[in-house]
Structure 1
Amino acid sequence: MAKGLGKGLDALFKDLGPDNNNNNNTVQDIFVKDIRPNPHQPRKFFNEEAIEELKQSIQSHGIMQPIVLRKSIKGYEIVAGERRYRAAKAAGLAEVPAIVKELTEEQMMELALIENLQREDLTVMEEAAAYQMIIDKLNFTQAELAARIGKSRPHIANYVRLLGLPAEIQVFIAKGKLSMGHARALLGVKQKDQQNEIAQKAVYEGWTVRQMEDWIRKLNENVSRETKPVKKDVFIIDREEALRARFGTSVQIRQSKNGEKGKIEIEYMSIDDLNRILEILDQK
């Protein structure tokens, strides 16, 4: 059953069913030393300034909202509230208020992802990596994951495709130096070294997405002139660029010498990527 992201965690716990006592919201004090972070935490970067501010708030007012935990072999694992846990630890608290839920590994991974998506805490690359982790570990298809977390399949596919970009570009995206729009434009460049060169130029010169798209279009025009004796019509070049932007992948319109017939080639990287493109084609 699809779970909309507008729901709070309490509603999501109820969706998991009554079998595992997930409706029990009894708050208890748990020793900080017995708690460890969620090994499936999608978030990789925590703002130290925000943690410091939260620490000071906790020192003045205590923890206002309990952390959500699950029992593990060696104590407890965090399901929701790692920022509060880190701040409490920094504040020197021996115990924290917590609600303990009985959750499977799958439920824990799913809830950790949904909590971060609800709070919009994840970077683009953290979100992409989280989707891929759940797909791999829980053997979900992109369509199944989309239904579980209330996203569209093309949304999942577009994020997962970012993991195919070179590591240097992924770092730029993770640090906010390149946007999702920049990343999608770079996916239309086949050569990894060219992707890196364009990304570096975009970061150092502060390109907008439109500037990057224009640069890539000119690059593809030059490649076309070098490899084909027949010059493409300006209208065809514009249509190719529009199609690349729509499908988020490389698109080529190839004409015969007399220009009367030809073919359109749309590149896809996987079956899920093909399904994403077919969904776009089905849209009216």
Structure 2
Amino acid sequence: MAVKRTGLGKGLDSLIPDNKPAAKAKKLEETPGQEYVMLNVNKIEPNRDQPRKYFNEDSIIELTESIKQNGVIFPIMVNRKDDYYQIVAGERRWRASKAAGLKEIPAVIKELSDLETLQYAIIENIQREDLNPIEEARAYKQLIEEHDLKQDEVAERLSKSRTTITNAMRLLKLDERVQQMIIDDMLTTGHARALLALDDGEQQYILANRIFDEKLSVRDIEKIVKELKNPKKVKEKKKEVNALVYQDLEVKMQEVLGTKVKVASKGKGKGKIEIEYYSEEELEHMFDMIVSLRRGE
């Protein structure tokens, strides 16, 4: 296999040590860089634990056309297995190379543990901003659960803050349908974090659809969530408004009848009106007024 070198820089290599040479290949150039070899594309397979699960078909088509014109500029990274090579970083380039009809692809060969392989893949995708928020969160969770790491250790290995790891993983508490909406770019992470205040998955999903349909802002969502979590306060506010309306009616009726009037609500639009009188003559006077009002006089 022909061996070449390319100026990839330290980047990912500086974060995970190269355990030992994976291929005895002759160097063609002595310039500083990363050694790579040309591998048969059919001897390479994707990593089933690759954190990136969704590939934009349009971008793959664009990359395929670019590779047809210019070739593969940056080698992919693979892990040596028994009888094949497993992709660590660069699955998109490998897919596009196959679509472009290439028989071989430049690759940097590593010998990594499962933990190092996953770590490499996460770092590469994060650096390229290829992971959506849910893929990133699931990758952190995978590191913690499958490799018995703590959040602090994940943060240190990936050069992230612990807060970043924690906030990312909180998105996995959302209803799965809402998570899919984030993956499909129908919701922003800001909207998603506002929905986390709701414990009920159905409420999350209903409100998520309102966000998409009504183009609601994050502030709108925070307000709606607050009302959903504190329905009593909303009812109390409505009672206060109704009380003011009743008070206004009492004043107006007192002005017409010339005596004290009290309006009492029983709810559901029902209630009673109390009119005070202080003599039989006053009662007869109010009666005549009511009758005349009814007759329209």
- TM-score with structure 1 setting the length: 0.72
Partner AA of 1:13 in structure 2: D
> What root-mean-square deviation, in Å, do the aligned CA atoms of Structure 1 and Structure 2 show?
2.3
In the TM superposition, 1:109-124 aligns within 5 A as: 109-124=118-133
Deviation at 1:224, TM superposition (A): 5.1
In the TM superposition, 1:1-284 aligns within 5 A as: 10-17=10-17, 19-21=19-21, 25-223=34-232
Higher relative contact order (CA 8 A, sep 6+): 1
- 5+ residue gaps, structure 2, are 1-7, 23-31, 241-297
Deviation at 1:223, TM superposition (A): 4.5
After TM superposition, which residue ranges in structure 1, 4 or more long, deviate above 6 angstroms?
none
Matched with 1:243 is: none
Equivalent residue of 1:16, what SS?
Answer: coil
Partner AA of 2:203 in structure 1: Q
Aligned length in residues: 221
Deviation at 1:25, TM superposition (A): 3.4
CA contact (8 A) 1:68 1:78 kept: yes
Partner AA of 1:37 in structure 2: P
CA contact (8 A) 2:39 2:105 kept: yes
Q: Residue 194 and residue 77 in structure 1: after superposition, are their counterparts in 2 closer, same or farther (change >3 A)?
A: same
CA contact (8 A) 1:42 1:112 kept: yes
Query: CA-to-partner distance for each residue in 1:106-137, whole Å, 9 max, x for gaps?
Result: 11100100001001111111111111111111
Q: Residue 9 and residue 137 in structure 1: after superposition, are their counterparts in 2 closer, same or farther (change >3 A)?
A: farther
Deviation at 1:221, TM superposition (A): 2.8
- TM-score with structure 2 setting the length: 0.69
Equivalent residue of 1:26, what SS?
Answer: strand
Residue identity (%):
39
Partner AA of 1:93 in structure 2: L
Deviation at 1:24, TM superposition (A): 9.1
Matched with 2:268 is: none
- 5+ residue gaps, structure 1, are 1-7, 232-284
Largest Rg, 1 or 2: 2
CA contact (8 A) 1:37 1:82 kept: yes
